[in-house]
A = this chain, B = another copy of it.
Amino acid sequence: MKTPDAGLAPGATIGILGAGQLGRMLALAGARLGLKSHVYAPDAGEPAFDVAAAGTVAAYEDEAALTRFADAVDVITYEFENIPAATASFLARLRPVYPGPLALEKTQDRLIEKRFLNDLSVATAGLAVIDSADAIEPALRKFGGAGILKTRRFGYDGKGQAMICDAANGASAFASFGSVPCILESVVPFTREISAIGARGRDGSFRAYDICENSHTNHILSRTEVPARIKTATADRAREIAKCIADALDYVGVITVEMFFIDGTNGEALIVNEIAPRVHNSGHWTIDGAVTSQFEQHMRAIAGWPLGSTERRGRIVMDNLIGNEARRWPEILQEDGACLHLYGKADIRDGRKMGHVTRVNPEQAD
């Protein structure tokens, strides 16, 4: 089945770097569309291997394995933004990699990311560069005595982050991070956390979902509700920010922009927290709650296919099942209308994302 444009044809193989739950749900979405998946990850025990047509278990630095992988696939994508830049650029010489190297370059390092956003006139928290413990005290003074120290690279789910309010605990946090390059961010007095999830096609088309409102427990997403309780104009602005970022990155695929929402005396304001160049936990509701899931949307985008409808099927509440919360599966299965998803992870561990449950309720009249 040949495609009329430069896009892939059904039967093509998508290469996916990373084999966690995001890779797994990408592979499942691809299968619906007749696409095969070839998953690449260092650990054979990861859950995406169970649903992929092919798998490679090898280190991200193994160039022979990467070359065989590239030869076996038509397009390459990834489930997480921390794949080594050298891996991405090595693969990009062999096969199209979507989202492209620019997206990784701008999002793997918090300092580069913030400067990229500010160059686009997108508001972020205040920023100070912390290359040594000595830099902490003047930065704290600039931010009114408190700030969040973050490693520039490899942070997720609150890892590599610490709230600090004096130079002494700042220095100790900096040391606990291994004295790697950090930034200090000012504390944003936000009302709620939201995310804007959109997709950009190879042709530059862009479609976004309704804005998600996110609650965290111990820095890990616990609940997403859609639509977020923000004004329509603010929601439109959030989607515009996501589109502006995607356009600037010449992005292909699903992109997520995490934002702080401030319901201030001067109106509603948005501060971008970070960019995730991938499908996102706060978009899992789209499997059951939207016409096109974020996973199918990503596959459509990287295949060079038209983007699907992002229409929502009702009011959404998505709850993550973290660690022992997954033991609630029998009661969730008994609840009519609760859509249970389990990721096929063998062991329950504290803080581990084991699954999620989505409830789609009829739209309320305002």
Interface residues of A (CB under 8 A from B): 1, 3-4, 10-11, 24, 27-28, 31-36, 49-53, 291, 300, 305-306, 308-309, 311, 313, 326-327, 329-330, 333-334, 336-337, 339-344, 346, 348, 355, 360
Contact = CB atoms under 8 A, between A and B. Distances in A.
Given A31-B50, A342-B34, A346-B11, A309 B337 contact: yes
A329 B1 contact: yes
B330 A4 contact: yes
A348 to B, nearest CB: 7
25 contacts: A1-B326, A1-B327, A1-B329, A3-B330, A10-B329, A10-B344, A11-B344, A11-B346, A24-B31, A28-B28, A31-B344, A32-B340, A32-B341, A32-B342, A33-B340, A33-B341, A34-B355, A35-B344, A36-B344, A49-B53, A51-B51, A291-B336, A306-B333, A306-B334, A311-B336
A109 to B, nearest CB: 35
A300 B291 CA distance: 24
A3 B342 CA distance: 14
Contacts of A28: 28, 31-32, 51
Contacts of A334: 306
A344 to B, nearest CB: 5
Nearest to A3: B330
A365 to B, nearest CB: 16
A32 to B, nearest CB: 5
Contacts of A32: 28, 340-342
Contacts of A343: 34
A308 B357 CA distance: 13
